[in-house]
Amino acid sequence: MSVQNQRIARESGRKPALSIDGLIKEFKPSRSFREANPHLLTDRGTVQAVRGISLDVYPGEVVVLLGANGAGKTTTLSCAQGLQPADGGTLQLLGENPWGASPELRAQVGIMLQDGGLPQAIHPIELLKHIAKMYKNPASVDDLVQRLGINEFNGTTIRRLSGGQKQRVALAAALVGNPKVLFLDEPSAGLDPQSRTVVFDIIREQRERGVAIVLTTHLLDDAQRLADYVYIVKRGENVTEGTVAQLLQETNEQAHTVSFTAASAISLQDFPAHLRDSVTLTQDSPGQYSLTGELTPDHLNALTTLFVSQGIMPSSFTLASRTLEDVFLDISGRDIR
């Protein structure tokens, strides 16, 4: 499905819970930054951290915003949450401009920040009960505490909690008000596998309830598992968008990887000449190989024929198609900037 058709399917007569159109956000950089990067400055001496990002989030879907460090994700979400004013473009959160939004609107929005943003000197359950009192129809604090295993560490103040424990409290705090829109900044960062599974289940339940969820993450495996729709941004601009299936299909339908472990040295020269062009063979670590590219059954046949002729029994052999991580690295570049 094309991006346009995908958009129509998502809209289907509904209004987005969050709509961002052409967001611009500028910062006044430090003097040293200005001197080192004059080419990045606007006429006003500012730097544009966000240069026209647009995105929509509909009720009952998980939208994942992906981008390298500094791409503008946090700035975009912070404008969408009404924490900073935009310098251009339009934002609508549940029909209102989030900057200067009414308390009624704020009560319908749950925010889980990257650094927790929680008061430090209080115990977790006391904090959650306190937050619950601010809402007319709060969620059950007991349920959240039980689901997220908060009892285990309630004897400790927030300041002394581990990173993963703080994350769990921050998620509970974002959910206490039964929000219609949920912002999750790196919700699974630092979580152990058990907590990660619980957090994923909770996110999916919120989606089933019709909550509009927007999240950022650098864990692309998590993004692939959770996302109904993905936006990829780079240097403050949209680069591409779509469902995970659509992004995988559009970028390179044919690409697969065979990973295998072989005790003997193997080279592409061992393959029939007509099968060498469309693939690459790399040795990722001693004896661990990846054959990547437009693989056909002939490539698999050539590989197993090679195993037979050289008496190799691979200790592992995996065929995988491209992942969201491959798409992201192709789009955002593989180098650190």
Give the interface with ligand ATP as residue ranges (CB under 6 A): 27, 29, 49, 67, 69-75
**Residue placing its CB nearer to ligand ATP in the complex, 25 or 180:** 25
**Residue placing its CB nearer to ligand ATP in the complex, 27 or 307:** 27
**Residue placing its CB nearer to ligand ATP in the complex, 67 or 187:** 67
Q: With left for phi above 0 and alpha for psi between -120 and 50, is residue 198 left, alpha or beta? A: alpha
**Side chain identity at 58, as an amino acid letter?**
Y
Minimum distance between the CB of residue 250 and ligand ATP, rounded to whole angstroms?
23
**Cβ-based neighbours of 155, under 8 Å, separated by 6 or more:** 123
8 Å CB contact between 257 and 294: no
8 Å CB contact between 16 and 61: no
8 Å CB contact between 110 and 175: yes
**Residue placing its CB nearer to ligand ATP in the complex, 38 or 286:** 38
Minimum distance between the CB of residue 51 and ligand ATP, rounded to whole angstroms?
10
**Residue placing its CB nearer to ligand ATP in the complex, 69 or 269:** 69
Distance, in Å, from the CA atom of 144 to the CA atom of 139, rounded to the nearest integer, reads 8
Minimum distance between the CB of residue 73 and ligand ATP, rounded to whole angstroms?
4
Residue 59 per-residue DSSP state: T
**Residue placing its CB nearer to ligand ATP in the complex, 30 or 194:** 30
Q: Is the dihedral of CA 247, 251, 252, 256 positive or negative?
A: negative
DSSP 163-186: HHHHHHHHHHHHHTT--SEEEEES
Nearest to 258 by CA among 283, 289, 287, 285: 289
Minimum distance between the CB of residue 256 and ligand ATP, rounded to whole angstroms?
30
Minimum distance between the CB of residue 207 and ligand ATP, rounded to whole angstroms?
23
Minimum distance between the CB of residue 251 and ligand ATP, rounded to whole angstroms?
21
8 Å CB contact between 161 and 204: no
**Residue placing its CB nearer to ligand ATP in the complex, 37 or 321:** 37
Minimum distance between the CB of residue 48 and ligand ATP, rounded to whole angstroms?
9
